[in-house]
Amino acid sequence: MRHRKKTKKLGRTASHRKALLSNLAAELFEHKRIVTTLAKAKALRPFAERLITKAKKGYIRERDGLLPENHKVDLVARRYVARFIRRKAVVQELFESIAPVVVDRPGGYTRIVKLSRRRGDGARMAVIELVDWSAPQDGQIYLRRQTTVTEETEFEVVGAEPEETAEVETEAAQQEGEEAPQEESQQAAASETGAEATEAAVAESGATEESMQETEASEQPQASVPAEESASAEPSPSGESEASEPSESDAKDKEG
């Protein structure tokens, strides 16, 4: 009978279970927050907290100078943790970074937050994280409320003091006041550039019309002069025939 045996087997053998918990604890100490199944998170929590307590006690002995002579670190505590965490960098992170932060915390170093079920097998998921490395705004919930049909929204802080809400409102008003002059200046600059562009276009169109008129005026006399010269230079065939062939009446007058 399994009296006083609270260990979750997780469907694995003893060796496989120990390796799984060691790997999860190493990832937790390195990244301070991991996502896994709810059953694994519940099994990992006491395992990781025991190691953190061991590291905290070793750090206190190192800080207070309770070690044997010529010893700067607590080798007993580090070797105990190294039995389960096989990565030297993670052991060093636990003793030098995590232990000094949690030295004044009497247990409860981790937190489990439940997530939705995993797609595929429907397993319950959870986040296990170190409490001292959680988000700084823990405890405040921001609700997004749509005030009008447009995209303008407002924020309300639930569970915060009136002073904090007033500060949030004043900051939003200041941001709006700063954005309004910027938008006006941008619109004015855009209108000025548009006016300059239209003036330039009108000036270009006037110049092109004047150049076209000048070219037309210069081409018209050149076309008329050759026509007049050709008309004066080439006599009509009827005139040539009249001048070359004298009439019969003139010939009779000469003979008489």
pLDDT digits (tens, 9 = 90+) for 156-175: 544 545 555 566 677 767 77
Note the pLDDT of residue 170.
Answer: 73
Q: Which residue has the higher pLDDT, 32 or 153?
A: 32
Highest mean pLDDT, choosing among 58-72, 127-141, 224-238: 58-72
**CATH code for the structural domain at 14-132:** 3.90.1030.10
Strands (E) across 26-94 are located at: 33-37
DSSP 94: I
Note the pLDDT of residue 150.
Answer: 46
Report how far residue 58's alpha carbon sits from residue 62's, in angstroms, rounded to the nearest whole number.
Answer: 6
| pLDDT tier for residue 216 given thresholds of 50, 70 and 90 | low
Q: Which residue has the higher pLDDT, 175 or 130?
A: 130
Average pLDDT on 110-116 reads: 96
| pLDDT tier for residue 47 given thresholds of 50, 70 and 90 | very high
Report how far residue 47's alpha carbon sits from residue 3's, in angstroms, rounded to the nearest whole number.
Answer: 20
Show me where the domains of the chain are located: 14-132, 135-228
- Give SS3 for 116: strand
Report how far residue 140's alpha carbon sits from residue 156's, in angstroms, rounded to the nearest whole number.
Answer: 10
CB atoms within 10 A of CB 128: 22
Highest mean pLDDT, choosing among 65-74, 95-104, 164-173: 95-104
Note the pLDDT of residue 15.
Answer: 96
CA distances (Å), origin 100, targets 13, 32, 42, 105: 35, 15, 25, 10
Note the pLDDT of residue 157.
Answer: 47
Question: Average pLDDT, whole number, for the chain?
Answer: 78
Report how far residue 91's alpha carbon sits from residue 101's, in angstroms, rounded to the nearest whole number.
Answer: 15
Count of positions (residues) in the chain:
256
Note the pLDDT of residue 223.
Answer: 43
pLDDT at 215 over 50: yes
Average pLDDT on 233-244 reads: 48
36 forms beta bridges with 126
The b-or-e profile of 150-184 (16+ CB within 10 A means b, else e) is eeeeeeebeeeeeeeeeebeeeeeeeeeeeeeeee
pLDDT at 48 over 50: yes
Average pLDDT on 233-249 reads: 50
Q: Which residue has the higher pLDDT, 98 or 224?
A: 98
Measuring CA to CA, which residue among 9, 6, 59, 55 is closest to residue 28? 55
